[in-house]
Amino acid sequence: MKPVVGIIFNPYARINRKQKNVQIRLMEEILGEKALIRVTWTQEDIIPVLKEFKEAGIKIIGISGGDGTISSVVSAYLNSFGDLEVPIIIPIKGGTMNIVASEVGIKTNQAETCTILSKYLKDGTVPIIEKGTIRITDPRYRYPILYAFTWADGLIYRFIKHYYKEGGGKAKALKLMFKTAFLYLINPDNSYFSEIKSKVYIDAEEIPFESHLFIFASSLERTVFGFRVFKEKIETGENFGVLYVKYSFLQKSFYRIPLFLYFGINTDPSKIVISQVAKTLTVEGNMGYTFDGEVYDPDKEGYVKLEAGPKIKIISPKGKPISIRS
């Protein structure tokens, strides 16, 4: 049987690190000759594997890893075959937060996901949902154009760096959130909460401040732990949500943050907080950020431009069935 699925397996993803051989064996047993399984030890390994999948006529790319692995695969594909649509992808949860998988309703472990996928292949149809991406342009980065689902700087960037030093994991993330909140209560002037100098433009409109606490951008409706910070509807492939926050908003609304995380934030007339959808976001004076859980520490100040990126078809139990038969 000609393989239909190509699986990219990230051996460094949180779940895969300790269970590499077990997970691969289970995938081989469940999917058999329907799938090509390739381990990618470095980002440089991804492009040759994608070329192999393309030549083999692979219709579905399974990504065993976390959100960062999905970003790496999508970025590699679009940068290598920009004139072609990315094949259907299916997140096979191997990371820590697995936000993309959660967004599309995939709650199963890797073996269960492969079993469900095998059934779809037998039926000849897969349910898909489309999600937009964010195109990130940064001349400092080794790949000038990236594609991701989330991006953040400032306080969130610092938090993610601290989180990885703590070892990662959802429990660690939750614990660190409480520690950060407690730190603010006892020492609100701590440098952890300092603003970063910047010039920020949302849809070409300059924000009237010279610094900010953090900016968070996402093409997804929900973020980690199911937080839903955007009230405006994100139009897939057309725009993305932007949350711009000043330190003064934290001072003013600290005790209401849990409500904002689950019910969304409105833009304040003073613009100490801006919550809206946008087609573009430009940040000048950037000194580091995180995208889909990955951390980028540049060696010099620079600018970053975010734009609404292409739609990606993702297998989802909430999706609309489409045929994958030739």
- Report DSSP letters for 212-263, one per residue: ESEEEEESSS--GGG---B-SPPPTTT-EEEEEE-HHHHHHHGGGHHHHHHH
d(CA 69, CA 10): 7
CATH code assigned to 145-311 = 2.60.200.40
pTM summary value: 0.93
d(CA 295, CA 311): 24
CATH of 5-132+312-323, one of 3.40.50.450, 3.40.50.2000, 3.40.50.10330, 3.40.50.300: 3.40.50.10330
- Domain locations along the chain: 5-132+312-323, 145-311
Count H helices, E strands: the chain? 9, 19
Sheet of strand 240-245: strand arrangement: 273-278, 240-245, 214-218, 150-152, 289-291, 294-296
d(CA 290, CA 161): 9
Q: Which residues of 227-249 are buried (b: 16+ CB within 10 A; e: fewer)?
A: bbbbeeebebbebbbbbbbbbeb
Q: Do 145-311 and 5-132+312-323 have the same topology in CATH? A: no
pLDDT tens, per residue, the chain with 326 residues: 789 999 999 999 988 998 899 999 999 999 999 999 999 999 999 999 999 999 999 999 999 999 999 999 999 999 999 878 999 999 999 988 899 999 999 999 999 999 999 999 999 999 999 999 999 999 998 877 999 999 999 999 998 888 887 776 667 777 777 788 767 778 788 888 999 999 999 999 999 999 999 999 999 998 876 788 899 999 999 999 999 999 999 999 988 887 888 888 999 999 999 999 999 999 999 999 999 999 999 989 999 999 999 999 999 999 999 999 87
